[in-house]
Amino acid sequence: MSINKNSFWAYVTLGALGIFGPILFPDYTLSIAYLWMMVLMASTWDTLGGQMGYNSLGNITFFGVGMYVSAIVQVSFFYEGGVAEYTSAMGSIKPEFTAAQYFWGLSLGIIAAGAAALAMSLVFSTFMFGLRGPYFAIGSLGLAIAVAEITITINYVGAASGISMPLFPGEIEFRSTFFYMLCFGFAVVSHFLLRWLYSTQFGLAANAIRDDEDKAEAMGIPTLAYKRLGWGIAAFFMGCIGAVAGNMAGFIDKEVAYPIPTFGIFMVAMALLGGKGTLWGPVLGAIIFHVVKETTWTYLLNLQWIALGLILIINIVYFQQGIMGWLQTKFPERFGIVVDVSTIQDADGGSAEGKGAR
C-alpha cells in the first residue's frame, strides 16, 4: 500500500491541521472536531454508497444507536440507581463520576456502541440487501425513521425527554481538546483502514458489484458477504463516533441522536461533492462542505441553506463525478492515470494519431 507524492502532501497538510488545529485555532476546536466527524461520516458512507453503488440514506441510524448504547453503558456501570431511575428523574439527578469512572465508562461505552451498531447492521442486512437502487435508499431511510420513532417510546432511555450524559470531569478547555482528539483519531483510523481495504480483494469485489452485481454473482463473487462487510464497517465507525458526539453534546434525544435532515443527508452530499467511489473524494467534499457551512452560518446566517443548495446544484450539473472525478479527468497524469491517445476518437470518427497524420 504505497503512498504517491500527491497523497503524501495531502497527509502532511491534514496531519498538521489535525495536530496543530486546536493550538492555532483554539476558539474553533469543536468546530474542527465536527469537521473530522463529517470526514468519517462521508468516508464510511462511501464504502457502500460509492464503492458498491448502494446509496444508503439510513447510516445515521447507527450514529443514534451508538449514542444511546454509550449512554446506557456509561450510566449503568457507575450509577447505583441504574439507568431507569436516572432517566426517570429527567435530568434532575447529576451524579459526579470520578475521572477514572468517567473515562473507563466512556471507553466501554464507545466499544459497546460500535459493537451494537455492527450487530444491528448484520441483522438488518439480511433483508435490506434484498432491495436495490432507489428501493434500498428509501428502505434505509425508512429504517432510520422507524428506529428514531421507536426510541422515543422506550422509557428506559428517557423516551421523548431524552437522557443527560455524565459530566466531563475536567476544565472546559481540556474537554474540547479531548473530544477533538477522539474525533480526529477515529477519522484517521477509519481512513487508513478503508485505504487498506480498497487495496485488497474487497476493493475489486466492491467495484464489480457496483458495475454489474448480477455478473459479479455469476462469476462466483459472494456479493452479500461483501455488502454486509462494507455496511458493517460503516456501522461500527458510525456507532463509535455517535458515542463521542453524544458526550460532546452532553444531552441526547431523538433530534440529537437521529439528525436525518442534516447529518443524515450531509454525509451523502459530501461524498457526491468530493467524488464518490474514491478514497479522497469524501474527505475533500467533507472539508469544503463543512467550511462553507460554518462560514455562511457565521457571516451569512440567513443564506446558509441557500449557499449549500447552490453548491449541490453546481455539483450535480457541472461536476457529476465530483471534484475528484473532474480533477482525474482534467489532470490524469497527476493521479498516475495513463491515457492512450491512440484510442481517443476525434469528432470525425478518426483516431487522434490518424488525425495528426493527415
Query: May I ask the CATH class of domain 29-320?
Result: mainly alpha
Burial class of residue 140, CB neighbours in 10 A (0-12, 13-18, 19+)? buried
What does the pLDDT read at residue 358? 34
Residue-range domain boundaries for the chain: 29-320
What is d(CA 324, CA 318) in angstroms, rounded to the nearest whole number?
Answer: 13
Q: What is the mean pLDDT of each run of 10 residues along the chain (358 residues)?
A: 76 92 91 96 96 95 97 85 70 74 94 98 94 94 96 88 87 91 97 96 95 94 96 98 96 94 94 93 95 87 82 85 86 65 51 42
What does the pLDDT read at residue 216? 95
What does the pLDDT read at residue 171? 84
Burial class of residue 245, CB neighbours in 10 A (0-12, 13-18, 19+)? buried
Give the orientation angle of helix 60-78 with respect to helix 133-151, to 10 degrees.
30
What does the pLDDT read at residue 172? 83
What does the pLDDT read at residue 176? 93
Judge contact between 331 and 282, C-beta under 8 A: no
Q: What does each C-alpha distance from 196 to 109, 110, 193, 276, 334 come to in angstroms?
A: 27, 23, 5, 17, 21
Burial class of residue 26, CB neighbours in 10 A (0-12, 13-18, 19+)? exposed
What does the pLDDT read at residue 89? 57
